Amino acid sequence: MSFRLSVCIVTNTIDDKLFQTISSFKQEAFEICVGCNQLSASEIAALEQKFPELRVVAMTWEGYGATKNKLAAVASSDWILSIDSDEWADRTLVKTLMSLTLENPRRVYALQRMQRLGQHVIKHGSYGAPEWKPRLYNKWHVQWNLAKVHEELEYLDGSELLDVQSVEGILWHLTAENIAEVQEKNNHYAQLSAENMFQRGKSAHRLKPAMAAAMAFVKQYFLKNGLLDGGIGLQLARESARYTFLKYKFLRELQAR
């Protein structure tokens, strides 16, 4: 069967969030490829039983970009829609994806992503600002780069994207179930971000962690109106400051070594 596009999802967890992601993209014209990282044979078998139409691939984790590129390479379609396991599409987005012509292989399509924290829709602050995420691309012309975190799409020659078109509809992202989960994620991402900055030759002076954290709070809570999200907005602003502090703290530790 010839698929319009392949929805590629890399996951190391099988849970209700993944099921919601898969269900939101279930269309006969879409192939859904799930790259299972560090999952047992029994877990993979259970997933295949629940969704027999899936293409499930056992994978070894090689980093965000590299693992996504490997899954795209085995997908049936030339056009890859890269989705995280905690993201799902609304009906408008699916309808738009069905209508795209997909004629220009160097064009990349950006999806509008909006955030949820548990049942709370985040409307303000850095988290609440709609993000346009390039996600739909032709794998023979575009790939993911190998950044340790916040990987981005680029042309195969390493150059930045020149032709990006927005797509109507919303890609919902479950930031986390609660603030504790946000903190756990940020502990991990702060370390990866520091390693990424260090590899790029970035450095930080002694006062940088505290100064950057203070600015992150002000930007999140006041300048971007995070305070309008009430208690959740305050918690997210504090967490943004904590993440920023950790990122530069870890960078300084790498410098010291």
Concatenated DSSP letters for 134-180? EEEEETTTEEE---SSS--EEETTSPPP--EEEEEEEEEEEEESSHH
Digit-coded pLDDT (tens) for 95-145? 999 999 999 999 999 999 999 999 999 999 988 888 999 999 999 999 999
Name beta bridge partners: 127.
none
- SS3 (DSSP) at 68: helix
Same domain, 236 and 172: no
Cβ(154)–Cβ(161) below 8 Å: yes
* Residue 129 and residue 78 share a domain: yes
The proportion of the chain whose per-residue pLDDT surpasses 70, expressed as a percent, equals 100
- Domain holding 57: CATH number? 3.90.550.10
Q: Which domain holds residue 154?
A: 5-176
One domain, residues 148 and 190: no
How deeply is 178 buried, as exposed, middle or buried, from its count of CB atoms within 10 A (0-12, 13-18, 19+)?
middle
Q: What is the pLDDT of residue 148?
A: 87
Q: Is the dihedral of CA 219, 223, 224, 230 positive or negative?
A: positive
Task: Give, for 50, the enclosing helix (H) or strand (E).
Answer: helix 41-50
Q: Are residues 11 and 130 in the same domain?
A: yes
Number of domains comprising the chain: 2
Q: pTM here?
A: 0.88
Q: Name the 3-class secondary structure at 84.
A: strand
Computed over every residue of the chain, the mean pLDDT equals 96
Q: Decide: residue 113, CB within 10 A, 0-12 exposed, 13-18 middle, 19+ buried.
A: middle
Q: Are residues 196 and 170 in the same domain?
A: no
